[in-house]
Amino acid sequence: GSEKILVKDKSDRATNEQVLDPRTRLILFKMLGRGLIERIDGCVSTGKEANVYHAVSPEGKHIALKIYKTSILVFKDRDRYVSGEFRFKSGYARNNPRKMVRLWAEKELRNLRRMKGAGLRVPEAIEVRENVLVMDFIGEDEWQASPRLKDAQIPPEQQRSLYIEILVLLRAIFHRCRLVHADFSEYNILYHQGHLWVIDVSQSIEHEHPSAFDFLRADIQNAEDFFAKQGVDTLGLTRTFNFVTRDSWVSGREETDEDAAEEIERLLAQAEAEANEPAQANGAGASGQQQEAAKPSESDEAVFAKSYIPRTLEDVYDAERDVQRVLRGEGKDLIYADITGVASIHGKANKGEGGEGGLAGVEE
C-alpha cells in the first residue's frame, strides 16, 4: 500500500495542519498499513468540530473519514448535550480534549449503528480510532458527496413525499432508536438516490435525556420550517410533536414506516378539514365545544414553541421546581405532554440498552 497521505486540495492546507496532528496522522498511517484505506484524496467538508475526507479502499470502495478536531475550545459548547446523558455519566473528561473528542467519535459510531440497525438511511459506520470515524461515503457518483438537503435540487412534485419521509424519520429516530438527533436540519440530511439520509449524529441523545423534548422540538421545528418554505402544507409544530412522541397505534405487530406514513396522511387530511371548519362553523353559530378540537391557533403554536416540556414523570412531579416557575411568572407556559405517552416511554427506558449505555471499554 501507499505510504503517503495525499490531500489534494491545497487550499485546505491550513485546516489540514490544524486537524491532522501527529497522532491523527499516525492513526491514518496505520489504516493505510492495514489496508483499510488505500488513499485519502480530498477534503469534502471543513467544519467547526470536524473535517470530512473522501478516501478509497484497496477494493475501490468509497469511504468517508470524519476527523474530529482535538482543540479543547471547539467542544466547550457541547456541555448541554452531555449533562444528563447517561452514556457520559463516567468517562467524560472535560479536561482531556483528546479523550473527550474520542468519546464524541465513539458516540457518533454507536448512534449511526443503532440507527442503521433500526433500518434508517444512515452511512454504515465501519470503525472508529480515537478521533477518526470511518464510514461509508454517501455520494451520487464516485467523487461527489450527495448534496445536503439544503442544497439539493428537489423536483417540486417530490416535496410533499419528502416531507412525509422526514416525519417518518423523526418518529423512527425517537420511537424505534430511542434517540433524539438534536441537530436535525437541512444541513445534516443528505439527499441521496431520491431519499433523505441522516448524518452528523455525534450529539444525538437518548430520548430520556432531561432536555430530550426541547431538542426534539427544535429538530421538528427545523423540518417544519424547511418544508413550509418549500410550499408544503405542513402539520405544524404541536401536531408533529404529538405524532413523533405518541405510543404506537398499531397493536399485535411492529409499527412500520408505511404505518407512520399512513398516519401522517390521515393527520394532514384532518388538519386540512379542521382548517376549513371554523369559517363554516362560525356561520352556523358554532358552540365553543366544536372549536375545541380545531387546529392549534398560531398563538397556541407560539406558546408550545416556547414552553418547558417535562421529559419524565419525575420532571412532571417536581412540584417545588414548578412552584418556582410559577412564582417567576413562567407557570402559564408550563406544558405537560401526554402523560400516558411520557410514562410508558419512560417505563421502557434502558430496556435492552444495557450494552449500549455504558462506556465500557472506553473508560480508562
Positions that interact with Mg ion (CB under 5 A): 188, 200
Residue of the chain from 115, 120, 128, 135 that contacts ligand ADP (CB under 6 A): 135
183 is catalytic: yes
Residue (5 or 133) nearer to ligand ADP, CB: 133
User: For the window 3-42, what string marks contact with ligand ADP as x by the rule CB under 6 A?
Assistant: ----------------------------------------
Which among ligand ADP, Mg ion, none contacts residue 70 (Cβ within 5 to 8 A by kind)? Answer: none
What's the CA gap between 234 and 226, in Å, rounded? 10
Single residue of 78, 148, 160, 325 touching ligand ADP by CB under 6 A = 148
Annotation says 259 is catalytic: no
Query: How many CB atoms are located within 10 Å of the residue 202 CB?
Result: 25
Query: By the 8 A CB rule, do 132 and 28 touch?
Result: yes
Rounded distance between C-alpha atoms, residue 126 and residue 115, angstroms: 14
Q: Is 137 in the site for ligand ADP (CB under 6 A)?
A: yes
Catalytic-labelled residue, pool 9, 141, 183, 322:
183
> Across-strand partners of 198?
189
Q: Judging by beta carbons within 10 Å of its beta carbon (0-12, 13-18, 19+), is residue 18 exposed, middle or buried?
A: middle
Number of residues that bind ligand ADP (CB under 6 A): 19
Going by the DSSP 8-state scheme, the letter that residue 186 receives in this structure is T
* Nearest-5° Cα angle at 123, 121 to 129: 150
Q: Tell me the C-alpha to C-alpha distance, in Å, between residue 77 and each of 49, 80, 179, 203.
A: 11, 7, 20, 11
Nearer to Mg ion, 49 or 225 (CB): 49
Using CB under 6 A as the binding rule, whether residue 74 contacts ligand ADP is answered as: no
Q: Give contact residues for ligand ADP (rule: CB under 6 A).
A: 44-45, 47, 49-50, 52, 64, 66, 123, 135-139, 145, 148, 188, 199-200
Catalytic residues, which ones?
183, 200
